[in-house]
Amino acid sequence: MTELQPTNPMVLGDPAITEPAIAGPAVGGRGLRGAIRDFSHNRMGMIGLAVIVVMLLFSFVGPLLYPTNQTHPNLLLITHRPSAQFPLGTDAVGYNVLGRLMVAGQSTLEVGLAAAAIATIVGTLWGAVAGYVGGWLDSVMMRIVDALLAIPALLLVLLLTTLVTPSVIMVIFVLGLISWLITARLVRGQVLVLRQLEYVEAAHQMGERAWRIVGRHLVRNVIGMVVVQATFEVANAILLFAALSFLGLGPPPPAANWGGMLNDGLNYVFDGYWWLIYPAGLLIVITVVAFNLIGDAIRNSLEVRLRSR
């Protein structure tokens, strides 16, 4: 069977053999330190990392330095143009847009990171168990993954959000619980290869329990691939969260997120209120691109290391 994965297309770089050594002689260090060094020589990856650090500072430290009222609407201040007082204007209920972008960034980044964390843990365990145990359990587990992959992610999210009151925590769980599928597939594929290797066989012969073999040997060996996938899941979760908010199923105001801000701005498309339409969208795009660049760079550094062995 062809095992083409519906994975993130942005990871599709050039085949490893033609890729020039990214960092010259420094390439090929061993272990975690080597991987970090390889990564730090990848310019795009470092740009991505820097962008994420800036976004985190902007969202979590920004409101401390630039406190604004994001709870109580102020109807005397609606849709002010950008000015010295309001660098990015105010929105339809009088919130300071710059301050709101900061607060909204908090929930957006929290949802992205936490949903990806849940997805990664569930997906890794699911894939490792399916691949290691094999047999009919593997078949059943992987058919479940196939079935969930056959339903568009947005449909699943919408179905699930009709069940719960939207809050940041609920959105994190819903997105986490539908984002683990690709990770599970990748891990299972890798574990199928790994479990035939001598050292796993040896551990088995020495009487180590199955869950210990999965936990100690298999999971540890797929961690690189899993981390790469996790960065893409952060990006995907941010996009899904934005889509959800656009469809009116995100956390209700005064809670803020970037997708929800765009949804609010949608009503003013024909009024020329550009500050309600561009800034939040740009922040989403920049953040998602940055996570993709990081994932791409980690993948490259792992590949470079594999090749130079």
CB 250 within 8 A of CB 111: no
| Shortest Å, Cβ 292 to other proteins | 6
| Shortest Å, Cβ 183 to other proteins | 16
Within 81-110, which residues bind other proteins (CB under 8 A)? Answer: none
Q: Does residue 16 interact with other proteins by CB under 8 A?
A: no
Stretch that binds other proteins, among 22-30, 59-67, 129-137, 286-294 (CB under 8 A): 286-294
Q: Does residue 51 interact with other proteins by CB under 8 A?
A: no
Among 36, 202, 285, 306, binds other proteins (CB under 8 A): 285
CB 262 within 8 A of CB 280: yes
Three-state SS for the chain is CCCCCCCCHHHCCCCHHHCCCCCHHHCCCCHHHHHHHHHHCCHHHHHHHHHHHHHHHHHHHHHHHCCCCCCCCCHHHCCCCCCCCCCCCECCCCCEHHHHHHHHHHHHHHHHHHHHHHHHHHHHHHHHHHHHHCHHHHHHHHHHHHHHHHCCHHHHHHHHHCCCCCCHHHHHHHHHHHCCHHHHHHHHHHHHHHCCCHHHHHHHHCCCCHHHHHHHHHHHHHHHHHHHHHHHHHHHHHHHHHHHHHCCCCCCCCCCCHHHHHHHHHHHHHHCCHHHCHHHHHHHHHHHHHHHHHHHHHHHHHHHHHHCC
For other proteins, the closer CB: 11 or 223? 11
| Shortest Å, Cβ 277 to other proteins | 6
| Shortest Å, Cβ 60 to other proteins | 22
CA distance 22 to 29: 13
Residues 6+ apart with CB under 8 A from 267: 92
For other proteins, the closer CB: 219 or 256? 256
Among 57, 78, 137, 155, binds other proteins (CB under 8 A): 155
For other proteins, the closer CB: 169 or 210? 169
Amino acid identity for residue 26 in this structure: A
Stretch that binds other proteins, among 101-109, 169-177, 206-214, 270-278 (CB under 8 A): 270-278
Q: How many chain residues touch other proteins (CB under 8 A)? A: 54
Stretch that binds other proteins, among 32-40, 61-69, 204-212, 285-293 (CB under 8 A): 285-293
CA distance 216 to 213: 5
Q: Does residue 163 interact with other proteins by CB under 8 A?
A: yes
For other proteins, the closer CB: 7 or 69? 7
Among 103, 111, 153, 187, binds other proteins (CB under 8 A): 153
For other proteins, the closer CB: 63 or 281? 281
Q: Which two tokens stand for residue 58?
A: 């902007």
Within 204-243, which residues bind other proteins (CB under 8 A)? Answer: 235, 239, 242-243
Q: Does residue 158 interact with other proteins by CB under 8 A?
A: yes
Burial readout 104-116 (b: 16 or more C-beta within 10 A, e: otherwise): bbbbbbbbbbbbb
Among 30, 43, 81, 143, binds other proteins (CB under 8 A): 143
Query: Where on the chain is the footprint of other proteins (CB under 8 A)?
Result: 1-2, 4, 6, 9-10, 12-15, 17-18, 143-144, 146-155, 158-163, 235, 239, 242-243, 246-249, 259, 262, 265-266, 269-270, 272, 277, 281, 284-286, 288-289, 292-293
